[in-house]
Chain A
């Protein structure tokens, strides 16, 4: 499993766009990038996944560098409810390993 590196914390104001970076320099060709977030007193929640280029859904956008060693989760117009810990995970989509390994994530604080 590729290891990931994220900034431990970030701060933003409501209405700002937030970009959370994740470095995965040893990512294998079979591996995909997944993002989860966890708000206090709840379990982690899946946000988005991608393999290359750019992925977007109703919650976030995911930009993946051409060499796939870096990905950036973009949250447009953050609100107070986006305050959470954001986890970047790299794993084989075939799920041969089954489990997901969570790192320490990035704690996003949102100020009004």
Chain B
């Protein structure tokens, strides 16, 4: 089992550019979660899907951020018009039963906006 796979591991983008981050959950897991981690804010919940349907996006910034799960094998987090404050490690996790309690995290995608 390869675990949760996130790509790219590192991305540097210019201010105002778009950034797309990909996540491949563990095969057979029914839920996918996105978190953002910074030194100042710690681990922040962004959004999650269960059986590909969006369930809770209460942590997503209202503008510029969007997440999709077009099929059971991958999810994307897109940030439009990136800003320096978007610089963070974006973590994806998957869960077997979709109850969110035992999460398996990927290694994260480090986004740097210059």
Contact = CB atoms under 8 A, between A and B. Distances in A.
Interface in A81-99: 87, 91, 93-95, 97-99
Q: Which of B45, B48, B108 has the most CB of A within 10 A?
A: B45
Given A43-B93, A104-B42, A95 B101 contact: yes
A43 B37 CA distance: 10
A99 B100 CA distance: 5
Given A93-B99, A93-B101, A99 B56 contact: yes
Contacts of A56: none
A44 interface: yes
Given A98-B56, A102-B42, A46 B102 contact: yes
A49 B43 contact: no
Given A98-B55, A103-B42, 4 more contacts: A98-B56, A99-B48, A100-B100, A101-B45
Top 7 nearest A-B pairs by Cβ distance? A43-B105, A95-B99, A102-B43, A98-B100, A99-B45, A43-B91, A95-B100
